Structure 1
Amino acid sequence: MPIENIPEIYLDNKKEKPDLFVYDFKMTSNVVKSKVNLGMNMFSFLQVGKKQVHFAGTAVAVNKDQSLLLKKGNWLWTELLDTEAIYYCKLFFFSEKRLLEFLEKHTENKVVVTNEEPYFIIRNDAYITSYLNSLSTISDAPAVFMENLLSVKFEELMLYLIQKYGKKFELYLYSLIISEGSAFKKTVESKIHSNLKLEEIAFLCHMSLSTFKRNFIKEYKTSPGKWLQDKRLQKAKRLLEEGICKPSELYMEFGYNNLSNFSIAFKNKFGISPNQV
């Protein structure tokens, strides 16, 4: 699956990336685990549908009652239609330059933030609904005025969210401008019990599959396929021993296409079939 560079694919002029940019994204069919290189921090105001995103060390799912502020980087996006025949979200991109200008103008402390989540969930309310309507209203404004209008709207939104969520949101904004070190182990170990493929985990680590495998063997002294399979089978065995679920209810969750393949792998690992636990 090709990597989508966002917001570049939405820009008329691919060579010039604006500091602020709004885009209405719509689709009429489900998209599962599309690879996205997000080149700017972005608000995703979900209007119709459901959304799930995987980042390096975490994943989050939202519906139309929630919006997201996402950190730039590599993501896997799943976007699903709900009861309507269309998926629709309004995207608002902003540069680090504009973020820094806002923080310098409206916050006092130069805090250092590390290990923050790469997303912030926003509960949609009457203000957000009104705000999105106002963004739609200015979308027809002449280009010469658009930059100034978006500057005002960006500052308005940020001030509202700081008022609503307080220090928590302010600290999150600072985390967006802190460069992170290698999150390789954090990424790998957060995806042990997901059903992501190796290629997808490698993408979240900003690596090709071959580079990912080399780094993995160097770090864990075994192949990623064997290591992940062992970890997932151990978790599956614990769930079966605790009587939480049946083999037929969990094989897909641990990356197996069918119950038969899961049963064979389980028996090879533990000497008994899942039904015998």
Structure 2
Amino acid sequence: MAIENIPENFIKDQEKHPDLFVYDFKMTSDVVKSKVKLGMNMFSFLQVGKKQVHFAGTSVAVNKDQSLLLKKGNWLWTELLDTEAIYYCKLLFFSEEKLIGFLSKYTNSVKPHQDGMPCFVIENDDYLAAFISSLSSDTFIDQHFSEALLGLKFEEIMLYLLNKYGSNFEYYLHSLISKEVSPFKNTIESHVHSNLKLEEIAFLCNMSLSTFKRHFTNEYQEPPGKWLQDKRLQKAKELLQAGELKASDIYLDVGYNNLSNFSIAFKNKFGISPTDISN
């Protein structure tokens, strides 16, 4: 899976490094899963389709009723069609310098930098719908007042969200300018029970696969493949023992591509098949 450098891949003139940038993203593929190096903080205003994002310590899924504000860094995201034949979202990127300028202008005091959630989920409403409809990449390209107009749009959405979410949003904005990186172990353990592959978790840790494996073994005294498999199979056993789910319901969620491989691994570890538990 190739790494997407965003927004750089969307900017036609690579000599320019805008502080604010709007991009209309459309696709017609059923599902696209991407590794993304996000170079700027970004609003994602989903219009049609569904989106799921993974960062170092979290995973969030949204549809067109919600928008996301994403912290710059390494992300895995999945974009998929819903009932329509197209996926469409509007993206608004902003630099750290632009954010600092906004915070110094509109907030009374500098809050201590905190490392909070890397994304903020926004519930769409009528005001946001009107704002989103006013955003178009064509509006803000090569027009005499386009840069000034986009600056006003940026302040508009930020001020509205400060009114809507209050101090929670203000603290989140301040956390975006923190330079701390999520700890290695926090990244690993937040994805223990996901179905992400080793290579994908390595990417979230900003490491090559070989470096990740070496670092993991030093940290946990066990190879990552075996460690994760044991943790995920233990979780699968707990789910089956609860009695509400069958093996066919959970094998994908614990990292297996087919039911047969899951059943073999489960029996090798616990000495019984998953169906023996769930029956």
Relative to the length of structure 1, the TM-score reads: 0.96
CA shift in 2, pair 1:138/1:198, >3 Å: closer
Cα distance in 2 for partners of 1:129, 1:90 equals 12
CA shift in 2, pair 1:36/1:244, >3 Å: same
1:144 shift after superposition = 3.2
Cα distance in 2 for partners of 1:95, 1:137 equals 17
Match for residue 148 of structure 1? Answer: 148
Cα distance in 1 for partners of 2:140, 2:22 equals 12
Q: Within 5 A, what are the aligned runs for 1:211-230?
A: 211-230=211-230
Structure 1 letter corresponding to 2:257: N
1:142 shift after superposition = 4.1
- Contact map agreement 2:116 2:175 (CA 8 A) in 1: yes
Match for residue 89 of structure 2? Answer: 89
Question: Any stretches of 5+ residues in structure 2 without a counterpart?
Answer: none
CA shift in 2, pair 1:22/1:141, >3 Å: closer
1:46 shift after superposition = 0.5
Cα distance in 1 for partners of 2:35, 2:111 equals 32
Question: Aligned pair count?
Answer: 277
Moved over 6 A (4+): none
In structure 1, the residue corresponding to 2:135 is in which secondary structure?
helix
- Aligned identity (percent) is 68
Match for residue 170 of structure 2? Answer: 170
Match for residue 100 of structure 1? Answer: 100
Cα distance in 2 for partners of 1:228, 1:123 equals 34
Match for residue 109 of structure 1? Answer: 109
Structure 1 letter corresponding to 2:38: L
Structure 2 letter corresponding to 1:111: K
1:134 shift after superposition = 2.3
CA shift in 2, pair 1:95/1:260, >3 Å: same
Cα distance in 2 for partners of 1:30, 1:202 equals 26
Match for residue 260 of structure 1? Answer: 260
Cα distance in 2 for partners of 1:17, 1:215 equals 35
Question: Any stretches of 5+ residues in structure 1 without a counterpart?
Answer: none
- Contact map agreement 1:41 1:93 (CA 8 A) in 2: yes
Structure 2 letter corresponding to 1:102: F
CA shift in 2, pair 1:14/1:264, >3 Å: same
Structure 2 letter corresponding to 1:93: F
Structure 2 letter corresponding to 1:36: V
Structure 2 letter corresponding to 1:196: L
1:231 shift after superposition = 0.2
Cα distance in 2 for partners of 1:246, 1:81 equals 28
Deviations 1:24-65 (A, max 9, x none): 001111334311110000000001111000100101000001
Match for residue 188 of structure 1? Answer: 188
Q: Within 5 A, what are the aligned runs for 1:7-156?
A: 7-136=7-136, 139=139, 142-156=142-156
- Contact map agreement 2:192 2:228 (CA 8 A) in 1: yes
Structure 2 letter corresponding to 1:135: L
Match for residue 208 of structure 1? Answer: 208
1:12 shift after superposition = 1.0
Structure 2 letter corresponding to 1:184: F
- Contact map agreement 1:57 1:183 (CA 8 A) in 2: no
RMSD of Structure 2 on Structure 1 (CA): 1.4
Cα distance in 2 for partners of 1:137, 1:236 equals 46
Structure 1 letter corresponding to 2:225: G
Cα distance in 2 for partners of 1:259, 1:136 equals 45
Deviations 1:147-190 (A, max 9, x none): 11111111111111101110000000000001123421111111
Cα distance in 2 for partners of 1:32, 1:235 equals 28
